[in-house]
Amino acid sequence: MSFQQFDDPAGGGDHGARLDALRAEMAARGLDGVIVPRADAHQGEYVADADARLAWLTGFTGSAGFAVVLADRAGVFIDGRYRVQVRDQIDLRHFAPVNWPETCPSDWLREGLPQGGRVGFDPWLHTRRDIEGLEKALHGTGIALIALEDNPVDAIWPDRPAPPVGAARVHADDLAGESAAQKRARLAAELKAAGHASALMNLPDSISWLLNIRGSDLPRNPVVQSFAVLSDSGQVALFADAGKFDDSLRAHLGNEVSILPPDGLAAALTDLEGPVRLDPGSAPEAAFRILEAAGTAIARGPDPAILPKAVKNAAELAGMRAAHRRDGLAMVRFLAWLDAQDHASLTEIDVVRRLEDLRREAGILDISFDTIMGAGPNGAIVHYRVTEATNRRLTPGDLLLVDSGGQYADGTTDITRTLALGQARADAVAPVTAVLRGLIALSRARFPRGVGGAHLDALARQFLWAQGMDFDHGTGHGVGAALCVHEGPARISRASDMALRPGMILSNEPGYYREGSFGIRIENLVIVTEADAEPGRAMLGFETLTLCPIDRRLIDRAALAPEERAWLDDYHMRVRIELAGDLDEAERDWLIAATEPL
């Protein structure tokens, strides 16, 4: 059975009738509007079926966005990644796509509620920073944001799934590089030094990292859905369904970790002594309100695990390197297989299944996200997910965009390659080459300590910009070590000022998308490393983790500078040396041909 399901991820249904039901519920509560985010109380990128309110209501299944519903209009706010996808998924008779952040929700509400109004929101699904920002933007409009006791979408969702109770497991200390007790002590000491009595942690990957556990509550992301209160003594109160933990896992957690019912969190917060650290960018607005009502001092500060988790230690880096080598073998076997096929006999689903089968043989526990296999115009949908309804047959001459990855016991992978199906189409060569040159520029970058992703983002875009082109997503995201494939806080983006540090792992993935024609993206994962520098000046650079050839058939070799050709030749030689010995003869022959010097 494949890891990937190919049915409608929104679950079908009459979204117009659901919208009518929500409006009736709004009227019954005296509300003029409701905000429906794509979020859960943990503020993770992926949500369980029970929390997929935006998809259930609107049909839109992207990983970011929100809806605002008024009595006479309903907008689905999406960023540049989803502007093609949203029009394919929502019923345009009932919902209107709204380009965000170009259009702010405050401006949209001002237009829709010119006389003021009451707009409801679920305080468990929004952060304090979100609500403060929206309240500030609405100041003077007469529009009031109303924190609701219960979610109005849940009230009209008759067959809403139950919350997940996936089995948790131990993440071995030799893979983590540090015991959970050591992590708890280290983070507790930091809290005590800051004068904070405790910290509320709501990010499941932070909690899973802290306790050296992994879970199965969410597809693709091996986290345990939970809340935790870490005290300055190193003790942890873990609010999670007890059914997730067997005796061996309870023994692993030890006596310093208490497992408590999830519905006990609100009451437990009222009993805490302050100051309690809350991250305004990730903790739910509801938690702030509970503590404020109890008169408990709040200290605003980052999730205590967010930075330690992002800076991988030697054991985590070794696991990631090993996982990427196995993943590289799976990718080479896949690419060799694909080149040997009659492309016209295959569909996107056929190709996804083959790739996932090969990753399964390589030892994955799961794929790390739903495979993006976009042929021709489907490749222009940035986060395209093939379904039975959209499944496209491969056409010779098209581009095939393959963005995929695996969750291994020791590491997480994420790789994108853009492939020529037969003869490379002439109009794709220039943008592919520009994208490749951007990837190479970022791979070769040297930069001082203190530099963040916003400083580096333009390096990957410069050759596209020179041709009047660009892409509407970040250049790179953080990646967890046997954790979530998208991990904060570091990223390579115009919006990121987080300074990069040695040990961080990020993606390097410039792209270009021509709607109705093709999509291009080339992605490797990189580790931030120390770099050679003049005496007295500390410099950083990148080590490329990903091991897989880049399709040379789509490259304008004459457009590459000598140092760019040298980088690609060196990279391909490294891939050949690392992988060739574990391939069969046919696969090895394919790899040798694919990695010939330019």
User: Across-strand partners of 78?
Assistant: 99
Estimate to the nearest angstrom the gap between the alpha carbon of 258 and the chain centroid: 30
3-state secondary structure 161-218: CCCCCCCCEECCHHHHCCCHHHHHHHHHHHHHHHCCCEEEECCHHHHHHHHCEECCCC
User: Across-strand partners of 276?
Assistant: 198, 298
pLDDT at 1: 36
Angle (CA) 119 121 127, round 5°: 130
Mean pLDDT of the chain: 95
Q: Can you tell me the distance from the alpha carbon of 38 to that of 125, in angstroms, rounded to the nearest whole number?
A: 8
Closest Cα partner for 378 from 353, 405, 347?
Answer: 347
pLDDT at 258: 97
Q: What is the CATH number of domain 169-305?
A: 3.40.350.10
Neighbours of 516 (CB within 10 A): 8
Global pTM exceeds 0.75: yes
3-state secondary structure 246-261: CHHHHHHHCCCEEEEC
Q: Can you tell me the distance from the alpha carbon of 368 to that of 366, in angstroms, rounded to the nearest whole number?
A: 6
**Are residues 174 and 315 in contact, defined by beta-carbon separation less than 8 angstroms?**
yes
For the record, the structure tokens of 111 come out as 């237009």
Q: What confidence tens digit (pLDDT) does each residue in 143-191 have?
A: 999 999 999 999 999 999 999 999 999 999 999 999 999 999 999 999 9
Q: What is the CATH number of domain 15-156?
A: 3.40.350.10
User: Across-strand partners of 505?
Assistant: 527
**Are residues 98 and 61 in contact, defined by beta-carbon separation less than 8 angstroms?**
no
Estimate to the nearest angstrom the gap between the alpha carbon of 75 and the chain centroid: 24
CATH architecture of 311-594: Alpha-Beta Complex (3.90)
Residue-range domain boundaries for the chain: 15-156, 169-305, 311-594
pLDDT at 10: 54
For the record, the structure tokens of 106 come out as 């405050």
Same fold, 15-156 and 311-594: no
> Strands 276-278 and 198-201, how do they pair?
parallel
Which regions of the chain are under pLDDT 70?
A: 1-2, 5-12
pLDDT at 96: 87
